[in-house]
């Protein structure tokens, strides 16, 4: 709640809050005034006071015209507060997401995050507009008549309305107590629904190829049913809310009370009419409140969920005492051990190796042996559990995180391209001159195919534009790496279904890009492994052999097996009793 209030009061909002309050009070006051004037009309009419009647009718007319006009300003202020707050919350939420470690993102359901950033933020907006403003209006509708009655009628007429307000607040309090657990469950289920849809869509090919449609549908229906049941429960609770009946009881009692006072000679007929109709406005307040409290409970459930996600303590610690920013490129792993969160089996065990600046290391190993994990640790997408990783002899946790990552370029297995132009995909949105981008593309062997695209460097890729092949994507990624000119370059490329011509081009691109920088290659391409300064063989998270290609071919059976098919002729006369 405090976080919500902080956001409501943020920035320029305070001006809008004042104007909202001010301009909301006036129309509500007009409503009570109108009912008083109706009483006056009745009295003046009975007494035959023609000009008095006319004056009162004129006043009613003025209130009817001015009220809605003033409401417009109130509505505008309210809208500004709500929209400002929604924007601020979205920003804060997005920043929080970017700040999280990869470990956090690994552990989150994407669908659920999507639900939080859309539905939950939306429900916060609804909290202001209209929920809180309706509540405010309801409060004014309750309080202003009290003031009007106090100034115009005998004090005893205050007793019933005041009694009503107290019992009304009590009944709303209990209503809210019952409502808020339902609202919480509702938002949580909505997150689940989203997560489920997303999972089935991304895994659609698996669902279809394993004929799992039935199970998928069954599971989804289960969640949807549960969600429906909660909505019905909420509707029932709303319907059972007592406050509306309380108002009927109140208005009838007030009428009786007023008539009694009339017989005592303390009220006129007009007074009875006016008093009764003022009390009747309470009906509106009761109606509003039930609805508004439902929205408030949803919003506060939404806020809880957002905060819950934002406050999860999975930040990679950014601040260190010695923030180093410069990197030359000597890398060393000393007895590094790492286990993914929520896993029991370590992904890397006691890994040690050394790589000098400007040299190339190749990592070879079966799927799941820990190759990708190893390189994730260098750019601190995760932090090691045991051992230490140094760059230029300094623990990587002592580098400024942003600087560290700027000096390391990783070309992933799945190259992600943004739905944007080729040029902007190479520059990653930063401001580079066009010649620079072109030069990078030429060196990355990408210029030829880019020139052949309909719009050249301005061709859109992705959903709305053209699709690129795996080899083309890879060269775009290499061009990216050129442009950012990192000290350390990492290529994660274990899948390699590429034709010979493309392979040759990529090989040349990589040879260009790895000059003058430390390079780590994950690859099973002989053409690349051959020229590496050192190769490490990973098996089940352990380094089981190191050396140059020739050394490993001679001493490691597993390594030989990996390259056997490409090397059959030469292998025939080699002793197969390796040590790994």
Contacting residues toward ligand ADP, per CB under 6 A: 106, 340, 343, 347, 365, 367-373
CA distances from 556 to 204, 419, 543, 578, 580 (A): 41, 45, 12, 5, 5
CB of 536 to ligand ADP, least distance (A): 12
DSSP assignment letter at 152:
H
Distance CA(531)–CA(234), nearest Å, equals 68
Q: What backbone phi and psi angles, to 5 degrees, belong to 567?
A: -135, 20
Distance CA(519)–CA(357), nearest Å, equals 9
Q: Which of 43, 84, 171, 372 binds Mg ion (CB under 5 A)?
A: 372
Residue 369's binding partner out of Mg ion, ligand ADP, none, with CB under 5 to 8 Å set by partner kind: ligand ADP
Given the complex with ligand ADP, which of 6 and 312 has the nearer CB atom?
312
Instruction: Determine, following the binding rule CB under 5 A, whether residue 373 of this chain makes contact with Mg ion.
Output: no
* Residue with the CB atom nearest Mg ion in the bound state: 372
CB of 313 to ligand ADP, least distance (A): 19
State the sign of the Cα–Cα–Cα–Cα dihedral 342, 345, 350, 356. negative
Distance CA(425)–CA(417), nearest Å, equals 6
Is beta strand 386-391 parallel, antiparallel or unpaired with respect to 394-395? antiparallel
Given the complex with ligand ADP, which of 165 and 490 has the nearer CB atom?
490
CB of 369 to ligand ADP, least distance (A): 4
# of chain residues touching Mg ion (CB under 5 A): 1
CB of 340 to ligand ADP, least distance (A): 3
Residues β-bridged to residue 521? 362, 491
DSSP assignment letter at 317:
P
Residue 395's binding partner out of ligand ADP, Mg ion, none, with CB under 5 to 8 Å set by partner kind: none
Sheet-wide strand order for 518-523 = 408-411, 488-493, 518-523, 360-365, 534-539, 542-547
Distance linking the first and last C-alpha atoms of the chain: 61
Which span sits near Mg ion by CB under 5 A: 370-378, 433-441, 529-537, 560-568? 370-378
Is beta strand 331-338 parallel, antiparallel or unpaired with respect to 386-391? antiparallel
Binding to Mg ion (CB under 5 A) within 177-206 occurs at none
Residue 347's binding partner out of Mg ion, ligand ADP, none, with CB under 5 to 8 Å set by partner kind: ligand ADP
Given the complex with ligand ADP, which of 372 and 421 has the nearer CB atom?
372
Residue 3's binding partner out of Mg ion, ligand ADP, none, with CB under 5 to 8 Å set by partner kind: none
Residue 340's binding partner out of ligand ADP, Mg ion, none, with CB under 5 to 8 Å set by partner kind: ligand ADP
CB of 558 to Mg ion, least distance (A): 17
DSSP letters spanning 345-390: S-SEEEEEEEE-TT-EEEEEE-TTSSHHHHHHHHTTSS--SEEEEE
CB of 355 to ligand ADP, least distance (A): 18
CB of 473 to ligand ADP, least distance (A): 19
Residue 370's binding partner out of Mg ion, ligand ADP, none, with CB under 5 to 8 Å set by partner kind: ligand ADP
CB of 111 to ligand ADP, least distance (A): 17
Given the complex with Mg ion, which of 414 and 573 has the nearer CB atom?
414
CB of 316 to ligand ADP, least distance (A): 15
CB of 538 to ligand ADP, least distance (A): 7
3-state secondary structure 487-551: CEEEEEECCCCCCHHHHHHHHHHHHHHCCCCEEEEEECCHHHHCCCCEEEEEECCEEEEEECHHH
Residue 220's binding partner out of Mg ion, ligand ADP, none, with CB under 5 to 8 Å set by partner kind: none
Distance CA(65)–CA(69), nearest Å, equals 7
Q: Which long-range contacts (CB under 8 A, 24 or more apart) does 40-43 make?
A: 40/270, 40/274, 41/270, 42/269, 42/270, 42/273, 42/274, 43/268, 43/269, 43/270, 43/271
Is 372:411 a contact under the CB 8 Å cutoff?
no
Given the complex with ligand ADP, which of 227 and 340 has the nearer CB atom?
340
Residue 553's binding partner out of Mg ion, ligand ADP, none, with CB under 5 to 8 Å set by partner kind: none
Given the complex with ligand ADP, which of 191 and 365 has the nearer CB atom?
365
Given the complex with Mg ion, which of 372 and 379 has the nearer CB atom?
372
Given the complex with ligand ADP, which of 370 and 471 has the nearer CB atom?
370
Distance CA(329)–CA(327), nearest Å, equals 6
Given the complex with ligand ADP, which of 246 and 374 has the nearer CB atom?
374
Q: What backbone phi and psi angles, to 5 degrees, belong to 420?
A: -155, -175
Residue 343's binding partner out of ligand ADP, Mg ion, none, with CB under 5 to 8 Å set by partner kind: ligand ADP
* Residues found near Mg ion in the complex (CB under 5 A): 372
């Amino acid at each position: 709640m405090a976080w919500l209030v902080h956001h409501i009061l943020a920035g320029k909002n305070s001006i809008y809050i004042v104007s909202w309050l001010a301009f909301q009070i006036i129309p509500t006051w007009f409503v009570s005034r109108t009912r008083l004037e109706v009483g006056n009309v009745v009295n003046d009419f009975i007494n035959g006071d023609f000009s008095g009647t006319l004056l009162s009718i004129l006043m009613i007319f003025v209130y009817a015209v001015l009220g809605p006009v003033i409401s417009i300003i109130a509505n505008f202020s309210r809208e500004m507060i709500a929209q400002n707050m929604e924007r601020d919350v979205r920003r804060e939420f997005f920043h929080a997401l970017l700040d999280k470690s990869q470990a956090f993102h690994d552990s989150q359901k994407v669908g659920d995050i999507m639900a939080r950033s859309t539905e939950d933020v939306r429900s916060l907006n609804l909290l202001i507009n209209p929920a809180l403003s309706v509540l405010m209006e309801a409060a004014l509708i309750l309080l202003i008549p009290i003031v009007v009655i106090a100034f115009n009628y005998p004090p005893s007429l205050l007793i019933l309305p005041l009694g009503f307000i107290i019992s009304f607040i009590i009944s709303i309090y209990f209503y809210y107590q019952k409502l808020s657990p339902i609202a919480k469950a509702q938002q949580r289920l909505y997150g689940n629904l989203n997560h489920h849809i997303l999972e089935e869509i991304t895994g659609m090919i698996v669902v279809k190829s394993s004929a799992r449609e039935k199970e998928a549908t069954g599971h989804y229906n289960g969640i949807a049913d549960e969600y429906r049941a909660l909505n019905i429960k909420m509707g029932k609770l709303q319907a059972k809310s007592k406050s509306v009946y309380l108002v009927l009881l109140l208005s009838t009692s007030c009428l009786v009370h007023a008539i009694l006072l009339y017989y005592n000679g303390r009220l006129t007929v007009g007074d009875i009419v006016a008093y009764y109709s003022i009390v009747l406005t309470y009906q509106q307040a009761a109606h509003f409140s039930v609805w508004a409290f439902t929205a408030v409970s949803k919003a506060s459930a939404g806020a809880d969920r957002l905060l819950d996600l934002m406050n999860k303590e999975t930040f990679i610690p950014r601040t260190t005492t010695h923030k180093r920013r410069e990197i030359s490129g000597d890398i060393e792993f000393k007895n590094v051990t790492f286990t993914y969160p929520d896993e029991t089996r370590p992904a890397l065990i006691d890994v040690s190796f050394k790589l000098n600046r400007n040299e190339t290391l190749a990592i070879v190993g079966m799927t799941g042996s820990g190759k990708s994990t190893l390189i994730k640790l260098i750019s601190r997408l995760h932090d090691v559990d045991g051992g230490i990783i140094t760059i230029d002899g300094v623990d990587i946790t002592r580098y400024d995180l942003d600087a560290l990552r700027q000096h390391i370029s990783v070309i992933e297995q799945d190259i992600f391209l943004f739905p944007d132009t080729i040029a902007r995909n190479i520059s990653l949105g930063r401001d580079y001159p066009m010649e620079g981008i072109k030069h990078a593309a030429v060196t990355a062997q990408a210029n030829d195919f880019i020139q052949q695209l309909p719009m050249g460097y301005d061709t859109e890729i992705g959903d709305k534009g053209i699709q690129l092949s795996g080899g083309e994507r890879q060269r775009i990624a290499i061009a990216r790496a050129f442009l950012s000119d990192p000290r350390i370059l990492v290529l994660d490329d274990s899948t390699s279904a590429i034709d010979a011509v493309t392979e040759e081009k990529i090989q040349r691109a990589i040879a260009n890009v790895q000059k003058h920088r430390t390079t780590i290659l994950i690859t099973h391409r002989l053409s690349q492994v051959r020229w590496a300064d050192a190769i490490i063989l990973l098996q089940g998270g352990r380094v089981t052999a190191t050396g140059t290609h020739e050394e490993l071919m001679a001493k490691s059976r597993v390594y030989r097996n990996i390259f056997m098919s490409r090397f059959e002729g030469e292998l025939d006369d080699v002793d197969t009793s390796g040590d790994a």
